[in-house]
Amino acid sequence: RIVFLNGSFLPIEEAKVPFMDRGFLFGDGVYEGIAILDGHLVDNDAHLERLERSLREVRIPNPYTRAEWTRLEEEIARRNGMTEGFIYFQVTRGVAERDFMFPENTAPTVAMFTQAKAIVNAPAAEKGIAVITVPDQRWSRRDIKSINLLAQVLAKQAAKEAGAQEAWMVQDGFVTEGGSSSGFIVTKEGRIVVRPLSNAILPGITRKSLLALSQDAGIELEERLFTVEEAYDAAEAFMTSASTFVLPIVSIDGRSIGDGKPGPITKKLREIYIRMASSPRMA
Ligand code: PMP
């Protein structure tokens, strides 16, 4: 397996990050994750735009142009023979003696790896997944894709221990988002409900694409907060993320959603998203 670290492609066993990396010591970094399908990058520009924004917000210099990032993504996919899966990349503020303030003259650490994965033919997409709800214990700048993921580690571990596959985080009674996904419900009238963008959630790239596609498909949208109780009572629920596309949610906190099977609107949205993602013009 070949990874990318600070300008070089090398076997993963040889890729070492120094002890004093600020990503390791402080979680001082940001990341991105993007799907690759049929050998091409899905929504690459939007992911790179979000990376640029995350870096700007935490004041880490962006080491590469968009064209350079794209070339690295394509190169790592090619070197790993990846046609379907996930590309992860992160940028930390670099290596320096431990001190909170920004170090001077320190180059960012850039790391990238791939994970081969069947996204389209995923069993979870057929059966749907179970979700639990947990309190949202994260900081207040969740719009930044920071590598500080301790709250999500704890939330998703709690989900696993409860026999579920994702945790929906809840603040003031309202669902914010999933541990690593955007959360949606479908009303009995067939309208999609999703929380509006703010500092309280990550601006999901899959969320954004799917909303554009759903509008083209004539499905109505309510961009507003929704409570856990409304979710229990929804006709359908689903989640989106780059590494899963659209996944049906068939239970929340042990309560069946709708008839307990993936709903028709969710299935349709998954289909139209896959059709878009498969189209080579997205490369
Ligand atoms: N919210 C959170 C907290 C996430 O970690 C992710 C996945 N990175 C998402 C939403 C979904 O974002 P995207 O569709 O860009 O993968």
Closest CA to 142 of 156, 132, 134, 152: 152
Instruction: State pLDDT tens for residues 114-133.
Output: 999 999 999 999 999 999 99
* Structural domains of the chain, count: 2
Say if residue 156 is in the same domain as residue 65.
no
CATH number assigned to the domain comprising residue 266: 3.20.10.10
Same domain, 110 and 179: no
Read off the pTM: 0.97
- If asked whether residues 236 and 200 sit together in one domain, one would say yes
Q: How many residues does the chain have?
A: 283
The residue with greater pLDDT, 283 or 30, is 30
74 CB neighbour count, 10 Å cutoff: 17
Q: Using CA atoms, how far apart are residues 117 and 104, in angstroms rounded to an integer? A: 39
Are residue 136 and residue 268 in the same domain, yes or no? yes
pLDDT of residue 279: 85
Whether 103 shows a pLDDT value over 80: the answer reads: yes
Q: Tell me: do 170 and 237 sit in the same domain.
A: yes
Ligand 1: which of 34, 144, 181 to mutate, most ligand atoms within 8 Å of CB? 181
Q: 283, exposed or middle or buried, with CB in 10 Å at 0-12, 13-18, 19+?
A: middle
Q: Ligand 1 within 6 A of 240 CB?
A: yes
Final residue in a domain of this structure, among 116, 136, 168: 116
- State residue 283's pLDDT score: 41
Residue 182: CB within 6 Å of ligand 1? yes
**Residues 133 and 108 grouped into a single domain:** no
> Residue 137: how many CB atoms within 10 A of its CB?
12
How far apart are the C-alpha atoms of 190 and 112, rounded to whole Å? 40
One domain for residues 183 and 76: no
Instruction: Show the domain range for 36.
Output: 2-116
> Which of the residues 16, 117, 145, 208 is marked catalytic?
145
Together in a domain, 130 and 234: yes
**Residue 156 annotated as catalytic:** no
Q: Is the CB of 241 under 6 A from ligand 1?
A: yes
Query: Within this chain, do residues 203 and 88 fall inside the same structural domain, yes or no?
Result: no
Q: Model ipTM? A: 0.99
> Residue 35: which H helix or E strand, with range?
strand 29-37
In angstroms, how far is CA 69 from the centroid of its own chain?
18
- Kindly state whether residues 93 and 143 are assigned to the same domain: no
User: Residue 76 sits in a domain of what CATH number?
Assistant: 3.30.470.10
Residues 231-270: pLDDT tens digits?
A: 999 999 999 999 999 999 999 999 999 999 999 999 999 9
Domain closes at, from 116, 132, 155: 116
Nearest 5 degrees, angle CA 105-CA 113-CA 210? 105
